[in-house]
Amino acid sequence: MPVYEYRKLTLGHILRDILHTSLCSLVIALVLILTTSAEVTLKTYGEYFLIAQLIGLSIAIPCSLAFHFFKPAKTSSQVLIVILCVLGGALLGSFLATRMGFHKFSNIPGRIPIEMLIVASIIGFVISFGFILYEKYTGFKLAANEENLRRTVLEKEKLNADLKLLQAQVEPHFLFNTLSNILSLLEHDPETGKRMLENLTQYLRTSLIQSRKPANRLADEIGMIRTYLDIYKIRMGKRLSYELDIPENVLNLEIPPMILQPLVENAIKHGLEPKIEGGGIRISACRKEGLLTLEVSDTGMGIKEKSATGVGTGNIRKRLASLFGDQASLNFEDLAPSGLKAIVEIPCEADHSPHRR
């Protein structure tokens, strides 16, 4: 496995390497002055820092350039480059230090002290491999973030596909039954049939537009649901009644598409249609402490398990989790004496789109 993650060589990266080398030189100079010098003064510390800086830069810059231009693929080649750069950089840095008159490790002016070479090489190896391990860690972290982002994108794409599949499952069934009712009504009650056809046209037009958006105003969603319920009210007659309790202060809040419609469909399909006398549906909304709460209640059969585990509700839960994490939820409550309440909670801000992950 490679021990170095290649990066694009830019002025910013070079300056960052110089900064890191300078910080290491500050620490190295402090260690050396405390362990080798009889006097600890600012002047002496400055000399030790310059020695450490000369050696550090003589190692770091050639090492970065060598990895950038040669781009060794094998670990052995990478280690060899580090060894050559450290030894060569230690020799060059020590030579420069002696030429500048810093003889802290030798009493013979003008010669490179062996002690300086040994200390420079050891410290150079430690710091060089430390930088490499840091680069490797950064590379792994970046790769992990990219993988998480890729998975998130794929998950959202899958949820969008599930949403389109849900719409494909709902609309043909609903459309077929409604058209059958319209054909029947046009023969016996043309006015009612015409009104039902107008409602169907409006519903299909609205749902087509809103299903293509990532989020819709609650007012628009409620308008679509009202048309949907009007169609069912014609079909079911007195067996269906509905009530909408939506305050004005939540009408401009945005919610994901196809959140309310499956819940209303479940209430009719599993709650009211199987009941001989039918029943009522109540849709309400309120905002409190940064949460938008949507409730769909019915006075039907109250089949909690079937409603809570259907395809539509499963899709709602997945999309809420993808968009809002654990800040959003979908729950069901049994009502007395009969019926079921679906409760959706979504984080919101006034007149803005809800936060998305």
Q: Is residue 265 part of a domain?
A: yes
Q: Is residue 176 part of a domain?
A: no
Strand order in the sheet with 340-347: 240-245, 279-288, 291-298, 340-347, 329-334
Domain with 198, as residue range(s), is 189-347
Q: Is residue 288 part of a domain?
A: yes
List residues bridging with 241 in a β-sheet.
280
| Residues 120 and 226 reside in one and the same domain | no
From 89, 113, 147, the end of a domain falls on 147
Task: Let me know: does 89 contact 121? Beta carbons within 8 Å.
Answer: no
Number of domains observed in the structure of the chain = 2
Q: Is residue 355 part of a domain?
A: no
From 147, 181, 201, the end of a domain falls on 147
| Residues 205 and 309 reside in one and the same domain | yes
| Residues 15 and 143 reside in one and the same domain | yes
| Residues 138 and 240 reside in one and the same domain | no
Q: Is residue 20 part of a domain?
A: yes
Evaluate if pTM is beyond 0.85. Answer: no
From 115, 147, 179, the end of a domain falls on 147
| Residues 51 and 111 reside in one and the same domain | yes
| Residues 79 and 228 reside in one and the same domain | no
| Residues 116 and 194 reside in one and the same domain | no
C-alpha distances in Å from residue 130, one per residue of 123, 134, 135, 196, 290:
10, 6, 9, 74, 47
Q: Is residue 161 part of a domain?
A: no
| Residues 125 and 197 reside in one and the same domain | no
- Which pLDDT does position 160 carry in this prediction? 63
| Residues 198 and 340 reside in one and the same domain | yes
Smallest CA-to-CA distance from 287 within 229, 352, 357, 347 is with 347
Backbone angles phi, psi at 354, to 5 degrees: -65, 155
| Residues 122 and 255 reside in one and the same domain | no
Q: Is residue 168 part of a domain?
A: no
Question: Per-residue confidence of the chain (357 residues) as pLDDT tens digits?
Answer: 444 445 566 777 778 778 878 888 888 788 777 776 667 788 888 888 888 888 888 888 888 788 778 777 777 787 788 888 888 888 888 788 777 765 555 444 545 567 666 766 777 777 777 666 666 677 677 778 888 887 777 766 666 665 565 555 555 667 777 888 888 888 888 899 899 899 888 888 887 777 777 788 999 999 999 999 999 999 898 999 999 999 999 999 999 888 898 899 889 988 898 888 999 999 999 998 889 999 999 998 876 555 555 556 877 888 888 888 889 999 999 998 889 999 999 998 645 444 443
Q: Is residue 342 part of a domain?
A: yes
C-alpha distances in Å from residue 162, one per residue of 46, 61, 168, 326:
67, 53, 10, 20
| Residues 209 and 67 reside in one and the same domain | no
| Residues 78 and 138 reside in one and the same domain | yes
Check which CATH number belongs to the domain holding 235 and give it.
3.30.565.10
